[in-house]
């Protein structure tokens, strides 16, 4: 089973994805790290599509993994439609003030204006770039099987909600989480 973790910047994607992969003893793959390791610009639609194609090929070979990245849920959905993969796509949300707090903590920035502008610019650039390249708004919650608000939950709690959803074929006991009927109840 492939589990994808997506969301805006500073929502906890990498922390949750790495921890979930460790818990489930499956590989972790970060699309953002892959881009940076290949020293690729993410401002070119052709580069995006080429690298996402490589990510998709990797996903076809490794059918048990946790994948973190902006396009991860979209790529999984495309693969499910063609029969190449089973899995669940998760989108983490966080209010703007929470994003700013996490950005400042992570980057060590003490300039609030810089943190606000950096966060706005990054999310806007990512959304527009991917919308232009794919015609998909990756921040649209309707693309994902499970949407979790990370503002009031620890990474451990978020991982447990995801695992519970998988084990219960898409249902959670947490009334605050949104699930869709698109989830294809694959097993771990």
- Whether 22 maps to a domain, the answer reads yes
**185 located within any domain:** no
**Is the residue at 168 inside a domain?**
yes
Q: Is 44 domain-assigned?
A: yes
In a domain, 187, yes or no: no
- The pLDDT value recorded for residue 44 is 65
pLDDT at 168: 82
Q: Domain containing 122: what range?
A: 2-179
Could you tell me which residues come within 8 angstroms of residue 19 by beta carbon, excluding any fewer than 6 positions away? 155, 156, 159
Residue 153 structure tokens: 């939950």
pLDDT digits (tens, 9 = 90+) for 137-184: 989 999 899 999 999 999 999 999 999 998 886 545 554 455 443 444
pLDDT in tens, 48-103: 777 778 888 888 888 899 999 888 898 899 888 888 878 999 999 999 999 999 99
Element housing 2 (H / E): strand 2-7
User: At 133, is the pLDDT very low, low, confident or very high (cuts 50, 70, 90)?
Assistant: confident
DSSP state of 87: E
Torsion of CA 77, 87, 163, 16, to 10 degrees: -60
Pairwise CA distance, residues 178 & 93, whole Å: 11
The pLDDT value recorded for residue 177 is 55
CB proximity list for 57: less than 8 A, separation 6 or greater: none
Joined together, the tokens standing for residue 76 give 């999984």
CATH code assigned at 27: 3.40.50.300
Question: What's the CA gap between 159 and 52, in Å, rounded?
Answer: 25
Q: Domain tally for the chain? A: 1
- Residues 22-58 pLDDT 10s: 999 999 998 877 777 765 555 666 777 777 788 888 8
DSSP labels, 115-174: HHHHHHHHHHHHHHHHHHHHS--TT-GGG-SEEEE-TT--HHHHHHHHHHHHHTTT--S-
Q: Does residue 163 lie in a domain region?
A: yes
Residue 186 in domain: no
pLDDT confidence of 18, banded at 50, 70, 90? very high
Give the per-residue pLDDT at 39.
Answer: 59
pTM: 0.84
pLDDT (0 to 100) of residue 164:
92
Residue 19 in domain: yes
């Amino acid at each position: 089973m492939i589990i994808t973790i997506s969301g805006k910047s500073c929502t906890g994607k990498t922390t949750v994805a790495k921890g979930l992969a460790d818990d489930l003893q499956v590989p972790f793959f970060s699309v953002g790290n892959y881009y940076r390791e290949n020293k690729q610009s993410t401002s070119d639609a052709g580069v995006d599509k080429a690298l996402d194609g490589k990510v998709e090929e990797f996903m076809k070979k490794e059918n048990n993994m946790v994948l973190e990245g902006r396009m991860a849920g979209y790529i999984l959905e495309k693969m499910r439609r063609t029969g190449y993969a089973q899995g669940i796509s998760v989108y983490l949300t966080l209010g703007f003030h929470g994003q700013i707090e996490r950005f400042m903590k992570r980057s060590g920035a003490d300039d609030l204006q810089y943190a606000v502008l950096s966060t706005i610019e990054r999310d806007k650039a990512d959304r527009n770039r991917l919308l232009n390249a794919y015609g998909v708004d990756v921040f649209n919650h309707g693309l994902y099987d499970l949407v979790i608000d990370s503002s009031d939950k620890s990474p451990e709690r978020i991982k447990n909600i995801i695992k519970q959803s998988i084990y219960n074929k898409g249902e959670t006991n947490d009334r605050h989480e949104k699930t869709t009927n698109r989830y294809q109840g694959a097993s771990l």
